[in-house]
């Protein structure tokens, strides 16, 4: 069953109010719902309440038993009037809910996940985002097992019952779509704080976890307060309820969920202390806390009309959380990391069988569309509009958007119109970013002719499934020219809006040969091809005044060298070595920036540059360059290691930068084959006072064959066996190993007593990580493909949402040689032919075969 965007119709019935009553019990929870429904328009269609696996035990209309029928999973009731009161009753079993959608149990906590279509697994309801309802929730549960009872909104009453049970009532005054409903019951404690909003409202904050985790919640609470202040300052948006609660649970299908006033999080994005969380984890906790908090306006106060508009809230909210993180530390480093992530996931998605526009036209299972395209490309689309409008007009546009659409379910089109209105611009052609899939490619050639230079820009957008022809798009390209002799800028930075297949720009008054700096700050999410020489790229990597462009020049230089080596064309490591040498020596640069700049592009990013990916040749070429860099600059790596070595843990941009460059240096020291490298890494592993250094040392050792490797793996396991989040790192580090026996090793990992498919984090730490380990996954025997397919099929039976997310690596068969492609296709065919396959996995696998 395909759902199409063009089929959107307003809801037949609205539900202004609902009262929910839960008798909570893990084996059998009774859910009673009372809905006030009103007919929307002059039709005579019945009321359809969606269900998923529900059986109606009672149905009453206006207090009397009423006639009803089931249409598949849905409850259908013919109603005579314009307004009625509907009561239903069902029983559900949270402890048997392995899909982790709807009401389920995680480590003794009862919690909910409703986005996108989980509410219909709890009660019969018009479960679509354009039906906005005021919720009253009453719940009762055994007091000893579930002393804490939380729901959306504000607590209004509570009390004790006979038989050791108690109850609580919550009331959310803001009408909301059903996907934002949440309820939690458990033995939880809170790290409490408060925040006073700009209008003087005092908000009680609580981060709820199990008692042993309480000490790991300060960072999340702090990030929440920073986020609340940031949204006031940057967007003028203030929090609107008296309480804001976050609950962390261990079993969660994605990162977190923005339920009104009651966010539910995957515990990996809440818990952090120096002994168990890396700098990456700390940053991710802050970013996800901010993301979910920002949804209170971009998502909750203004929600989506239908799921095709998902990027309206997700793309915008990712843009908001990226801007927040950029403001907490180095904006340049944050941009580099975001672009690296975009290229690794979204560019790959856009180039494959699952490519789709930021506003898709159809889906089989909406859960499959929580993608890098909707989130990260969606954020780039917002960023481009912010670039085109400039900060003041962009802020004026978001003010209009929030004010005009507050309390409604809006569309991407509504958002763009606000941009046009406040910006005084016409975004007609720009809208193609919402409807056309595929990553645009720009070629830029600069020809000098005396004192003039002519820049020729050409764009093409590649065909994607269902979209063979593409129209030219609006690509905002920031560019600048530098003089090769003096290093000085030859012009101010310009913002060029490339909107035709081909455009030419002329620069005059040149006194020296110009070098082109283009797509500065990654102003457009496109692939740029230039004819810049290794010398020019090395020059830019040392002299460009845009840090992103410097990083990019270095990456391009590395990429050109590596792809030449893979193709068997002539190549010279010299320019890369010189450029890395200069960057390492430049003491004015932020250490975190240096660490990013001197890292070689990943195997899979190199593969993305080739028509047919040769994983072995890529691995060899990359290792060879790594070894050369390691030996040619051996002294500098040692210096960088020593200079940043001794420090007590501190979470600050400077301290993170020091750890970053130190650990990159450690990797290069190991790559040089230095005899003392394993001992050095092991010393760091044992002596570290933080997880960043400990995991980096383990990661370095895991790629080798030393005795220290086994010792470190055993010590890590013993130290952290009781901590699921850290044990995930133990599994993941091994699944990412560059050793040539990794395909075999992951099969053993999956048989380890601590491996389980029931916990999504654990499943992803092995299968997800292995799927992006290009050389290991594409082992010529095909065992990597078989392993992933086996695990995916096993997981599909219990948790389709998380299973389907593991499929994309198998779907990339077109990019590999005939033998690998045939093996990958065979696994996809086996998956599609499996009886009882979920529609989640069916959609991903069948689209990948087409």
Complex with ligand ARG: residue 415 or 605, whichever CB lies closer? 415
In DSSP notation, 473-510 reads --EEEEEEEEETTT--BSS--EEEEE-SSEEEEEE---
Residue 350 interacts with which of Zn ion, ligand ARG, none, CB < 5 to 8 Å by class: none
* Nearer residue to Zn ion within complex by CB, 373 or 536: 373
CB 607 within 8 A of CB 344: no
Q: How far apart are CA 583 and CA 517, in angstroms?
A: 18
Q: Which stretch binds ligand ARG (CB under 6 A): 79-87, 196-204, 251-259, 513-521?
A: 251-259
Residue in 681, 682, 692 with CA at minimum distance from that of residue 650: 692
Residue closer to ligand ARG, measured from CB, 367 or 644: 367
| The binder of ligand ARG chosen from 223, 257, 528, 621 (CB under 6 A) | 257
Chosen from Zn ion, ligand ARG, none, partner binding at 728 (C-beta under 5 to 8 Å by type): none
* Cα distance between residue 670 and residue 641, in whole Å: 12
Vertex 144 angle, CA 139 and 148, to 5°:
45
Token pair 């009161």 is at which residue?
85
Our answer to whether residue 292 is catalytic in this structure is yes
Q: How far is the CB of 365 from ligand ARG (least distance, A)?
A: 9
Q: Is 265 in the site for ligand ARG (CB under 6 A)?
A: no
For residue 104, state whether it binds ligand ARG (rule: CB under 6 A): no
Q: Which residues pair with 4 in a beta bridge?
A: 362
CB of 376 to ligand ARG, least distance (A): 12
CA distance 642 to 153: 52
Q: Which among 50-58, 169-177, 254-262, 267-275 is the span making contact with ligand ARG, rule CB under 6 A? A: 254-262
Residue 316 in contact with ligand ARG, rule: CB under 6 A? no
Residues binding ligand ARG: number (CB under 6 A) = 11
Do β-strands 3-4 and 13-23 pair in parallel, antiparallel, or remain unpaired? unpaired
CA–CA gap between residue 273 and residue 218 (Å, rounded): 9
Cβ closer to ligand ARG: 345 or 367? 367
User: Should residue 256 be labelled a site residue for ligand ARG when binding is judged by CB under 6 A?
Assistant: yes
DSSP state of 562: H
- Position 292 contacts ligand ARG (CB under 6 A): yes
Per DSSP bridges, beta strands 514-518 and 69-71 are unpaired
| 42 C-beta neighbours (distance < 10 Å), count | 6
Q: What angle do CA 562, 567, 570 make, to 5 degrees?
A: 75
Bridging pattern class, strands 102-106 and 109-113:
antiparallel
Q: Which is nearer to ligand ARG, 26 or 118 (CB)?
A: 118
Exactly one of 169, 292, 380, 578 is catalytic; name it.
Answer: 292
Query: What are φ and ψ of residue 626, in 5° steps?
Result: -60, -45
**For residues 115 and 117, what is the distance between their CA atoms, to the nearest angstrom?**
5
Closest separation in Å from C-beta 375 to ligand ARG: 7
Q: Which two tokens stand for residue 40?
A: 């929307």
Q: Which does 730 bind (CB under 5 to 8 A by kind): ligand ARG, Zn ion, none?
A: none
Least spacing, CB of residue 816 vs ligand ARG, in Å: 28
**Among residues 283 and 292, whose Cβ is nearest to ligand ARG?**
292
* From the list Zn ion, ligand ARG, none, partner contacted by residue 256 (C-beta under 5 to 8 A by kind): ligand ARG
Residues contributing to the site for Zn ion (CB under 5 A): 314, 317
Tell me if 116 contacts ligand ARG by CB under 6 A. yes
Pick from 307, 370, 405, 430: which binds ligand ARG (CB under 6 A)? Answer: 370
Among 68, 174, 239, 254, the residue binding ligand ARG under the rule CB under 6 A is: 254
Q: Which residues contact 738 (CB under 8 A, 6 or more apart)?
A: 619, 623, 703, 773, 775, 776
For residue 341, the minimal CB distance to ligand ARG (Å) is: 15
180 binds ligand ARG (CB under 6 A): no
Beta carbon of residue 689, minimum distance to Zn ion (angstroms, whole number): 34
Q: Which range of residues in 18-26, 252-260, 400-408, 621-629 is near ligand ARG by CB under 6 A? A: 252-260
Q: Per rule CB under 6 A, is residue 314 in the interface with ligand ARG?
A: yes
By CB atoms closer than 10 A (0-12, 13-18, 19+), residue 366 is middle
The nearer residue to ligand ARG, 146 or 316, going by C-beta atoms, is 316
- Looking at the Cβ atoms of 106 and 367, the one nearer to ligand ARG is 367
Written as six digits, the tokens of 248 are 């962390």
Q: Binding of ligand ARG at residue 293 (CB under 6 A)?
A: no
- Token readout for 753 is 């007593």
From ligand ARG, Zn ion, none, interface partner of 254 (C-beta below 5 to 8 A by class): ligand ARG
Q: Residue 258, interface with ligand ARG (CB under 6 A)? A: yes
Helices (H), 672-782: 677-687, 691-702, 707-720, 724-735, 742-750, 760-763, 769-771, 774-777
Based on CB atoms, which residue is closest to ligand ARG, 291 or 820? 291
Q: How far is the CB of 288 from Zn ion (least distance, A)?
A: 9
**Rounded CA separation 181/174 (Å):** 11
SS3 assignment for 364-420: CCHHHHCCHHHHHHHHHHHHHHHHHHCHHHHHHHHHHHHHHHCCEEECHHHHHHHHH
Contacting positions for ligand ARG (CB under 6 A): 115-116, 254, 256-258, 291-292, 314, 367, 370
- Give catalytic residue positions: 292
């Amino acid at each position: 069953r395909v759902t199409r965007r063009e089929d959107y119709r307003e809801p037949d019935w609205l539900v202004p109010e609902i009262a929910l009553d839960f008798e909570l019990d893990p084996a059998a929870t009774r859910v009673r719902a009372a809905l006030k429904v009103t007919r929307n328009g002059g039709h005579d269609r019945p009321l359809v309440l969606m269900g998923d696996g529900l059986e109606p035990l009672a149905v009453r209309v206006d207090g009397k038993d009423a006639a009803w029928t089931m249409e598949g999973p849905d409850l259908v009731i013919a109603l005579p009037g314009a307004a009625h009161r509907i009561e239903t009753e069902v029983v559900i079993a949270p402890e048997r809910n392995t899909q982790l959608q709807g009401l389920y149990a995680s480590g003794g906590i009862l919690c909910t996940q409703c986005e996108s279509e989980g509410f219909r697994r709890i009660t019969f309801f018009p479960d679509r985002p354009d039906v906005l309802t005021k919720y009253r929730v009453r719940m009762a549960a055994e007091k000893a097992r579930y002393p804490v009872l939380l729901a959306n909104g504000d607590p209004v009453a509570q009390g004790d019952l006979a038989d050791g049970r108690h109850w609580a009532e919550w009331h959310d005054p803001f009408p909301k779509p059903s996907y934002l409903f949440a309820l939690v019951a458990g033995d939880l404690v809170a790290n409490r704080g408060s925040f006073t909003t700009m209008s003087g409202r005092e908000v009680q904050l609580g981060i709820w976890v199990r008692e042993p985790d309480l000490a790991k919640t300060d960072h999340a609470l702090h990030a929440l307060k920073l986020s609340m202040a940031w949204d006031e300052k940057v967007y003028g948006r203030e929090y609107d309820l008296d309480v804001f609660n976050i609950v962390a649970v261990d079993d969660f299908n994605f990162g977190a969920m923005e339920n009104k006033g009651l966010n539910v999080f995957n515990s990996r994005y809440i818990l952090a202390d120096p002994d168990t969380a890396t700098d990456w984890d700390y940053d991710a906790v802050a970013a996800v806390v901010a993301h979910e908090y920002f949804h209170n306006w971009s998502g909750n106060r203004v929600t989506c009309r239908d799921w095709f508009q998902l990027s309206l809230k997700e793309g915008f909210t990712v843009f908001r959380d990226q801007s927040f993180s950029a403001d907490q530390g180095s904006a340049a480093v944050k941009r580099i990391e975001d672009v690296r992530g975009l290229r690794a996931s979204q560019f790959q998605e856009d180039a494959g069988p699952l490519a789709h526009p930021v506003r898709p036209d159809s889906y089989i299972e909406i859960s499959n569309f929580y993608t890098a395209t909707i989130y990260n490309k969606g954020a780039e689309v917002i960023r481009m509009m912010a670039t085109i409008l400039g900060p003041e007009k962009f802020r004026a546009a978001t003010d209009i958007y929030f004010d005009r659409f507050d309390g409604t379910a809006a569309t991407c089109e509504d958002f763009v119109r606000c941009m046009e209105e406040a910006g005084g611009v016409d975004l007609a052609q720009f809208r193609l970013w919402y409807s056309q899939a595929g990553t645009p490619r720009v070629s830029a050639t600069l020809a000098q002719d005396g004192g003039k230079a002519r820049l020729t820009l050409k764009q093409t957008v590649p065909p994607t499934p269902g979209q063979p022809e593409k129209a030219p798009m609006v690509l905002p390209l920031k560019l600048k020219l530098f003089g090769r002799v003096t290093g000085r800028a030859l012009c101010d930075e310009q913002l060029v809006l490339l909107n035709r297949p081909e455009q030419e720009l002329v620069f005059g008054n040149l006194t020296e040969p110009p070098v082109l700096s283009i797509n500065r700050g990654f102003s457009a999410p496109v692939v740029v091809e230039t004819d810049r020489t290794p010398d020019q790229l090395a020059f830019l990597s040392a002299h460009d005044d845009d840090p992103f462009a410097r990083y990019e020049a270095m990456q391009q230089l590395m990429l050109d060298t590596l792809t030449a080596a893979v193709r068997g064309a002539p190549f010279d490591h010299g320019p890369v070595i010189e450029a890395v040498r200069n960057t390492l020596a430049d003491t004015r640069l932020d250490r975190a920036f240096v660490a990013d700049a001197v890292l070689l592009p990943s195997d899979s990013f190199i593969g993305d540059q080739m028509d047919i990916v040769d994983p072995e040749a890529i691995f060899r070429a990359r290792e060879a360059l790594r070894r050369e860099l390691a030996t040619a600059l051996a002294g500098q790596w040692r210096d960088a290691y020593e200079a940043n070595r001794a420090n007590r843990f501190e979470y600050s941009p400077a301290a993170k930068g020091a750890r970053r460059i130190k650990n990159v240096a450690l990797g290069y020291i190991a790559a040089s084959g230095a005899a003392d490298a394993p001992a050095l890494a092991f010393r760091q592993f044992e002596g570290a006072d933080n997880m960043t250094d400990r995991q980096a040392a383990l990661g370095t050792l895991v790629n080798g064959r030393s005795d220290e490797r086994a010792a470190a793996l055993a010590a890590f396991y013993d130290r952290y066996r009781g901590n699921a989040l850290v044990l995930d790192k133990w599994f993941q580090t091994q699944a990412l190993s560059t050793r040539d026996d990794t395909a075999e090793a992951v099969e053993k990992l999956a048989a380890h007593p601590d491996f389980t498919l029931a916990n999504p984090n654990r499943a992803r730490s092995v299968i997800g990580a292995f799927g992006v380990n290009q050389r290991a996954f594409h082992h010529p025997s095909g065992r990597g493909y078989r392993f992933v397919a086996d695990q995916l099929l096993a997981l599909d039976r219990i948790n389709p949402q998380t299973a389907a997310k593991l499929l994309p690596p198998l779907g990339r068969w077109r990019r590999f040689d005939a033998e690998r492609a045939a093996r990958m296709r065979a696994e996809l065919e086996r998956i599609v032919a499996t009886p009882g396959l979920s529609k989640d996995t069916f959609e991903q696998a069948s689209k990948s075969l087409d």
